[in-house]
Amino acid sequence: MNPWIDISQPLDNRIAVWPGDTPFRYKVSWSKEESGSVNVGEITMSTHTGTHIDAPFHFDNDGKKVIELDVNLYIGLSRVVHLPKPSSIGIKELSGVELDGVTRLLIRTDAWADRSVFPAVIPEIEPELASYLAKKGVRLLGLDLPSVDPLDSKELTAHHELTRHGIHILEGLVLDHIDSGDYELAALPLSLVEADGSPVRAVVRRV
Ligand SMILES: N[C@@H](CC(=O)c1ccccc1NC=O)C(=O)O
Ligand SMILES: [Zn+2]
Ligand SMILES: [Zn+2]
């Protein structure tokens, strides 16, 4: 049996966050010395830090929250496609890629090279890709990028189009060492009742 490979960003106090967003912090708020028995930690973070999923509520006040998302989307067969440093990702870029029967598509771009700093520009997902992928049966799109829209976008067109076509979003993957091919994926969100997004521990294993 092939081993599981971690494709998540490690969460520590140095992780790059969206400009102006809450810094990640972990601290022991009640130490073993203080409590007499245990270390108890406390985490402060944005729901969009590191490897995470977006719930539609992130960009739509009437959209689903994390707890309402179907867990089956985030576990199962996936296809990794390596498109090195594209300027954008559209139907043309994926035209040579077999996608029939692919439910979960992970795109490796290598475009966020230094993950210790937030990128200045990223390849964008062309909104037309949403209907193309939906017709192929894709329900989850994952990327090694912090967003599926340009970083300065206020409209978040790709987020909206993907959601309108039933495609869920997984961002901030680490795919540097993952070759194109088929994998089993697990990237479950936490059962956050009110949330617009959730960190995930994402892992793949070759099938
Ligand atoms: N859409 C991005 C996040 C995002 O837009 C964002 C995250 C944190 C703080 C501000 C953000 N956007 C707009 O200013 C994402 O899905 O992760
Ligand atoms: Zn996000
Ligand atoms: Zn997003």
Which amino acid residue places its CA nearest to atom 9 of ligand 1?
21
Residues tagged in the binding site annotation for substrate: 18
Inform me whether the pLDDT recorded for 48 exceeds 90. yes
Atom of ligand 1 nearest to the CA of 21: 9
Q: How far is CA 8 from CA 31, 62, 145, 172, 188, in A?
A: 28, 29, 12, 8, 12
**Residue 58 annotated in active site:** yes
Q: Tens of pLDDT along 124-174?
A: 999 999 999 999 999 999 999 999 999 999 999 999 999 999 999 999 999
Q: Tens of pLDDT along 61-99?
A: 999 999 999 999 999 999 999 999 999 999 999 999 999
Kindly indicate whether the ipTM for this predicted assembly is greater than 0.90, answering yes or no: yes
Least Cα distance to 16 among 159, 149, 174, 160 occurs for 174
Which amino acid residue places its CA nearest to atom 11 of ligand 1?
18
* Cβ of residue 60 lying under 6 Å from some atom of ligand 1: no
> Which CATH class name applies to 5-206?
alpha beta
